[in-house]
Amino acid sequence: MRQEEVHRLLAGITGSRRCLDYDACPLQGGLLVNMDGYSMSTSRPPWASIGDWAWRAVAAAASDIAASGGKPLGLMYSIGVPSLEEALEAAHGVGSAAKWIGVEVLKSDTNKCGCDSWIDVAIVGISTRPIPRSGARPGDLVVQVGYSGYGLLARLAMEGRINIAELGEDLVEMLRRPRPPLAAGPHISSCGASASSDNSDGLGYTLRVIAESSGVGMVLGDPLVDPRVLRILRGLGMEAGDAYSSWEDYNLVVAIPEPGVGCLLDSCKALGIPCRVIGRVVEDRGLVYRGKSLRVEPWEWF
């Protein structure tokens, strides 16, 4: 079952439908709230420490704030682990991620668990104009904010097609502790974006969610891939387009009216964030890449 279907199923039970079209939920006064949770057995790759695992949970939650056009303000977390040692290691990961983001850890909750270890991260942010996933309109341009390809590289490593020990230290660090382009969040809002989301379940799938929820389609070019990753992909006979299946990169994809594109690209340049126009929103439904239908299924846990 797709993540979006799970979310709508649960929302139907609880009645919490008002935030379904946002990565982070907008509240009064410009506040944004978001929560992400993970079990260790399904979300910790073999090269990641417990601290890395906790960092990723924080990065994922903060990325949704940025995707909704906001700036993170503070976070809280809850963990269930079998030992004090694991709790301390997770706390170091959360603390390091919070320091990198520039926010305070407001509260923590620790549970002793004899089951699969888990972590939940709740984060609060603020935006002058929250951005939904469902606002893309024909004529908007599609801008990718931040590189993609790291999740595809992780999959290739888990399949044994590349040796992670042979990658450069900086690239391995991106696989261990992703760094979403959080500083771009407020600029996505101020430059006039109509729709936005972050790449957690797959780049192509993220674009598909924006298109389907907006009732539009997209004509796409090559995604923006880290040049180091692209060299590895080409060495395996792959191309940039294969990165549409890359997941948990936490880059942002934004649909924005053409007059606002220059504003966003200039903001990215000033912030040192790689950004590029990768497509255009059209009336016809579906995603088209190089003249062919692009349908990428999400990275799923269900």
Q: Are 77 and 120 in contact (CB under 8 A)?
A: yes
User: Hey, what are 247's tokens?
Assistant: 């997941």
Contacts of 227 (CB under 8 A, 6+ apart): none
CA atoms within 13 A on the CB side of 95: 7
What pLDDT, on a 0 to 100 scale, did the predictor assign at position 115?
81
Radius of gyration of the chain (CA): 18
- Whether 17 shows a pLDDT value over 70: the answer reads no
Q: Are 56 and 43 in contact (CB under 8 A)?
A: yes
Overall average pLDDT of the 29-46 stretch: 92
- Whether 11 shows a pLDDT value over 60: the answer reads no
Residue 42's pLDDT band (cuts 50, 70, 90):
confident
Q: Are 183 and 269 in contact (CB under 8 A)?
A: no
Overall average pLDDT of the 81-106 stretch: 97
Report how far residue 192's alpha carbon sits from residue 85's, in angstroms, rounded to the nearest whole number: 46
How many CB atoms are closer than 10 A to CB 43?
A: 17
What pLDDT, on a 0 to 100 scale, did the predictor assign at position 6?
63
Of 66, 67, 60, give the one whose Cα is nearest residue 36: 60
Report how far residue 218's alpha carbon sits from residue 210's, in angstroms, rounded to the nearest whole number: 10
Report how far residue 118's alpha carbon sits from residue 203's, in angstroms, rounded to the nearest whole number: 25
What pLDDT, on a 0 to 100 scale, did the predictor assign at position 302?
39
Overall average pLDDT of the 2-9 stretch: 61
Domains of the chain in start order, with CATH, are 23-126 (3.30.1330.10), 141-293 (3.90.650.10)
- For the chain, the average pLDDT equals 93
- Whether 14 shows a pLDDT value over 60: the answer reads no
Helix, strand or coil, per DSSP, at residue 271: helix
Report how far residue 283's alpha carbon sits from residue 106's, in angstroms, rounded to the nearest whole number: 45
Q: Angle, nearest 10°, between helix axes 84-101 and 50-67?
A: 40
Helix, strand or coil, per DSSP, at residue 114: coil
- Environment class of 85 (CB within 10 Å of its CB; exposed 0-12, middle 13-18, buried 19+): exposed
Q: Which residues pair with 292 in a beta bridge?
A: 289
φ, ψ of residue 250 in degrees (nearest 5): 60, 25
What pLDDT, on a 0 to 100 scale, did the predictor assign at position 16?
61
Which tops the pLDDT comparison, 8 or 253? 253
Report how far residue 28's alpha carbon sits from residue 226's, in angstroms, rounded to the nearest whole number: 38
Helix (H) or strand (E) holding 96: helix 84-101
Which of 20-24, 100-104, 273-277 is predicted with the least confidence, judged by mean pLDDT? 20-24
- In the chain, DSSP finds a helix count (H) and a strand count (E) of 10, 12
Overall average pLDDT of the 113-128 stretch: 94
CA atoms within 13 A on the CB side of 28: 0
Overall average pLDDT of the 116-144 stretch: 97
What pLDDT, on a 0 to 100 scale, did the predictor assign at position 301?
46
Q: What is the largest CA-CA distance in the chain?
A: 55
pLDDT tens for each residue of 212-251: 999 999 999 999 999 999 999 999 999 999 999 999 999 9
